[in-house]
Chain A
Amino acid sequence: MLKDVTLGQYFPGDTAAHRLDPRTKLVGVLIFIIALFSAVNWISYGIMLAVTIACIAISKISIKTITKGLKPLVVIIILTGLLNLFYTQGDVLISFWVITITKQGLKRALFMTSRIILLICGTFLLTYTTSPVALTSGLERLLKPLSKIKVPVHEMSMMMSMALRFIPTLIEETDKIMSAQKARGADFETGSLAQRAKALLPLLVPLFVSSFRRADELAVAMESRCYHGGSGRTAMKRLKMGSIDYLAFTLGFIMMFGVIALAYFGL
């Protein structure tokens, strides 16, 4: 069950999407989000959808993986859709009992849900096609100017990469503790919400304790391997921008300005 969690997971590959410089992808996602939030009409949403599908196709990530990633967020997506559907004023389309659905409400519900779905797909594609090390070194380089004003950029990106590194380990461990507790009669699946939450407690305590032990051992192991902060560090894989990155940037900016222009001229 927990093995299905794909959050922050990386799927090694050798597609154009994988070869892009991590900085390009990070800025690309930013451009994508700006464009997505500027989109106001059918054409612009159509463009965003087309771009997302093209990116998925290029990265050769299977649709199944994408839907699996969306699964935990289904409730939020549906809730957003329903709220927008029922609580938007405008021209009444259907009306019965306490429920009224307006034309504007329907449109807004569709837009909002597609916005969330596309947002998730876009950001997931980033982690699916970028190794955590590349991702953090990209982030570190992009944020480097901030270290001038004493923002601990290196420390932050190191923390992020360690968090990503330990997600699979902790998931594995949770699974193991869960099985052990199930074998002793613990029940995580039935009962009221309160009962199930209570059943999780004996799961969280050992997980919490072991995380601290892990953190302690990891710190000693890192120090033993000469880790002493970001100063004087080099990287085996140097970040290099290639023609493919410039192409991606050009396309990304065309998309963003296109969508903004569409919104501005109210097409």
Chain B
Amino acid sequence: MDKIIKIENLHFTYPGDEIPTLCGIDLEIERGSFVAVLGHNGSGKSTLAKLLNAILLPSDGKVTVSGIDTADKERTLELRRTVGLVFQNPDNQIVANLVEDDVAFAPENLGVEPEEIRRRVDDALKTVGMYEYRMHAPHLLSGGQKQRVAIAGILAMQPDCIVLDEPTAMLDPIGRREVVSTVSRLCREKGITVLLITHHMSECVDADRLIVLSEGKVVADGVPSDVFADADLLWSEGLSVPATTKLLYELNKSGINVPLTAIKTDDCATAVVNALNLVK
């Protein structure tokens, strides 16, 4: 299948730092897939995100998105239109005092015609379910709503890929659910490639693929159920596992045979019921 992101032997060191932040990352991400990225604090997740749209440039190696080399200065604008970044703090990425003006910011920068901008803004706001709030002041919205406005602001560029850097870290559970369901809908319905960087294990369960970063290296990469099945590795990386994995793991340890890969709540319940029936 078509690979939208290609990362080859990527190394990155912040200027003035001794220790490299990223050392030797090789990744290929398929177009239209939903990929979650996990890693403890300081493992280099945000750095990786910023390398994808040329906010940072590789110290060594190569990053290509939709065939555009991020080091190609001539095509930086085209690259940034293709891959949109959503950040953790919604307050620091909203640029206007009116929701619709904020969403219009990126297409205005790209020099899109006014009528077309209007259309894109309305479309984007409808997609994230914030159309009724278009005339509101962003600072009066809830965290989840602000973050959805930020996503709409990216959608208005009509990107192929959206990278979200811990978009739910500052939100309550309701806001978190709003954002994650919006993002996964974008992926499933619009075919937009999603790279979700997160600290919440539950948000990784629905992903097509899970990548675990540690000390600037990829330490695990695969289908979430397989990655989580290796709970020892995640624990040794200072990460937790979903509650379902933990339960299955403990059951296994006490001699009840259940598959560790049943990480979705329904699957886990079924697995446990089956196991209990067997025991009886």
Contacts and interface: CB of A to CB of B under 8 A. Distances in A.
Given A162-B95, A226-B77, A236 B106 contact: no
Contacts of B110: 226
Given A164-B97, A220-B87, A226 B112 contact: no
A227 B96 CA distance: 14
Given A227-B109, A232-B111, 4 more contacts: A12-B137, A169-B91, A225-B95, A225-B154
B157 interface: yes
Contacts of A10: 97, 137
Interface in A195-234: 213-214, 217-218, 220-228, 232-234
Interface residues on B, range: 35 or more
Chain A contact surface mostly = helix
Contact of B112 (A132, A222, A224, A234): A234
B228 to A, nearest CB: 31
B92 A235 contact: no
A226 B101 contact: no
Most buried by B among A131, A228, A234, A236: A236
Interface residues of A, number: 32
A225 B98 CA distance: 17
Contacts of A222: 95, 105
A168 B53 CA distance: 30
B104 interface: yes
19 contacts: A132-B96, A133-B96, A162-B95, A168-B137, A168-B139, A169-B91, A214-B91, A218-B93, A218-B95, A220-B55, A220-B87, A224-B53, A225-B106, A226-B80, A226-B81, A226-B110, A226-B157, A235-B114, A236-B104
Contacts of B109: 225-228, 233
Contacts of A169: 91, 139
A165 interface: yes
